[in-house]
Structure 1
Amino acid sequence: MDYLLVDDRGICEEIKVPDREFSNSPYRLYRFLNDLEDLLASISSDRDRLQAICPLVQRLLTSSYWLQVPEQPPDPELGWSVQMLYDEPFFPLTVQLVAWLPGIASPIHNHGAWGLVALISGKEKNTFWRRSPTVEFPGKIERVGDRVITAGEIVTFMSDTIHSIEALGDEPTISFNIYGETNYEQRFEFDLDTMSAQIF
């Protein structure tokens, strides 16, 4: 199992996640959410939180086979769909299943929140970027590198990680995504042609 972290500079690195002993009892979504709440309350560093969350996600995906097939296939017009599994007002967490049609690519963006993507099926290319502002173009970015993420891998992001994704292969790409509390004033979509950033 590969656990990856992409920092605010677009650097992708493998992170070490300590082995944990879990019971063999079913690990249901509500237990997972309770464990996440405890982690968020006890760990303040986003990087440390992500390291602690990774094994819980792995346990959930191994135990909960219903997550392997989302109820919402990718929208044929949009090329993607989002099935919200958890989103509660005034609680800094959303949990989603996201499905992409092959060949569909996202705009270049950040999330304004820490995030975790566990690929359930398919594969996707993540391209990572970093800010390189100038006086004339404060929204300018430059490409750092890319990584193909395959089923079973988990990639985590800091709040200002900038990336774009493209679904590869012949089958839809399905991922289990978690995002922390979003700072909407810091969530941007980047345009390479105009070297600008727009809040979205």
Structure 2
Amino acid sequence: MPGSYTLQQFVAELRAITASRPQVSAILQQVKPLARRFATSSELRGRCNLQCDEQQGFGFQLLHEEPDHMLAVAVLSWLPGRGTPPHDHGTWGVVVGVSGDEVNAFWQRVDDGTRPGYAELRRLSEKTFSPGDAIAITPEIIHSVRNETDRISVSLHVYGRNINFTGRSQFDPERRTVTPWTVVQN
């Protein structure tokens, strides 16, 4: 019964999948359906607090991470009309829509990355993700997220490592800058 799938069961399966250190593509292929299943669980629905950080535009509710910061599971709550700058993750990830829609724009870095603090990006595509939709993210993918609705949207995020411990970056396409990025987690 999908509604009874627990965080404890989900994390146990994540540990089993990653224990042998398979290729990222194999991890993503196995984690994606499990994340979809957990996103529909009554336990996850009961844990969504919808608290958002006004300054950053979203709330990051950490549900689980290992002592070494691996296998992070979080619920993100997005304020209406708010989102993120383009960013990478520095780790693999799976994101599943829980409620509301989120617009993801995908970007490509076109400079060679040799100038510190400098980055040129090209916008590639855009896709709206709805509840139940899932996206698999490799460490080098650059995307931005925006809630273009008039109510809070919620998504489940599963990462190979807590994103505040990956050395990830945010990008400003207009100023052509790249800077380190961490998020406020509650």
**Quick check: TM above 0.5?**
yes
Once the two structures are superposed, the pairs formed by residues 17-166 of structure 1 within 5 Å of their partners are 26-42=4-20, 44-62=22-40, 64-68=41-45, 70-133=48-111, 139-166=119-146
Q: Residues 96 and 177 of structure 1 are in contact (CA less than 8 Å); yes or no, is this contact kept in structure 2?
A: yes
- Normalising by the residue count of structure 2, what TM-score does the alignment of the two structures yield? 0.85
Who wins on radius of gyration, i.e. which is larger? 1
Percent sequence identity is 30
Q: Over aligned residues, Cα RMSD in angstroms? A: 2.2
Report the alpha carbon displacement of residue 50 of structure 1 after superposing the two structures with TM: 0.7
Aligned to 1:8: none
Task: Give 1:180's aligned amino acid.
Answer: G
User: 4+ residue runs of structure 1 moved beyond 6 angstroms?
Assistant: none
Aligned to 1:177: 157
Report the alpha carbon displacement of residue 91 of structure 1 after superposing the two structures with TM: 4.9
> 1:67 aligns to what SS in structure 2?
helix
> 1:85 aligns to what SS in structure 2?
strand
User: Which shows bigger deviation, 25-34 or 145-154?
Assistant: 25-34
Q: Residues 122 and 168 of structure 1 are in contact (CA less than 8 Å); yes or no, is this contact kept in structure 2?
A: no
Report the alpha carbon displacement of residue 107 of structure 1 after superposing the two structures with TM: 1.1
Report the alpha carbon displacement of residue 40 of structure 1 after superposing the two structures with TM: 0.4
C-alpha separation in 2, matches of 1:25 and 1:119: 16
C-alpha separation in 2, matches of 1:74 and 1:162: 23
Aligned to 1:19: none
C-alpha separation in 2, matches of 1:160 and 1:56: 23
Aligned residues: 176
- Normalising by the residue count of structure 1, what TM-score does the alignment of the two structures yield? 0.79
- Any unmatched runs of 5+ in structure 2? 182-186
> 2:4 aligns to what SS in structure 1?
coil
